[in-house]
């Protein structure tokens, strides 16, 4: 997790792609990259509320990168809640020709702890990386 944050910090073109849902962004929180003078790119991999795979995911990713002046060869780090959806998104992006796609294992919240709560065992939040909750 810290390795991802360091890479995004070091490399000007490296991007964090948050593939969670609009509901997760609104209610769970999001990585806060303002200290790096960056923002995560938010594109749902599965569209809330029906949770079908977003058929426009790759096109929206390409458009978001182009709007930032980022080349398809840049390092792209894909993040979801626990690392499952982001893995699928990274594979799809790789298959579409994006050269350096990485899954952020552990995701934003990681797996549930013994009490069933997320954000404590692994993931962005548990690592103490910057995040915000609206």
pLDDT score for 113: 93
pLDDT score for 1: 81
Domains defined for the chain, CATH in brackets: 2-103 (3.40.250.10)
pLDDT score for 134: 81
In this prediction the pTM is 0.96
pLDDT in tens, 56-80: 999 999 999 999 999 999 999 999 9
In the chain, what percentage of residues exceed pLDDT 90? 98
Q: Which of 50, 52, 16, 14 is nearest to 131 (CA)?
A: 16
Q: What pLDDT band is residue 12 in, cutting at 50, 70 and 90? A: very high
């Amino acid at each position: 997790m810290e390795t991802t944050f360091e890479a995004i910090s070091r490399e000007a073109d490296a991007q964090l792609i948050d593939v969670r849902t609009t509901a997760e962004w609104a209610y769970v929180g999001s990585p806060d990259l303002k200290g790096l003078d960056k923002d995560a790119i938010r594109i749902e991999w599965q569209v809330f509320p029906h949770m079908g795979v977003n058929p426009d995911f790759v096109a929206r990713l390409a458009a978001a990168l182009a709007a930032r002046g980022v080349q398809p060869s840049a390092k792209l780090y894909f993040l979801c809640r626990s690392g499952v959806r982001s893995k699928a998104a990274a594979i799809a992006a790789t298959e579409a020709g994006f050269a350096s796609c990485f899954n952020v294992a552990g995701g934003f919240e990681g797996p549930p702890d013994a009490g069933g709560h997320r954000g404590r065992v692994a993931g962005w939040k548990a690592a103490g990386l910057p995040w915000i909750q609206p």
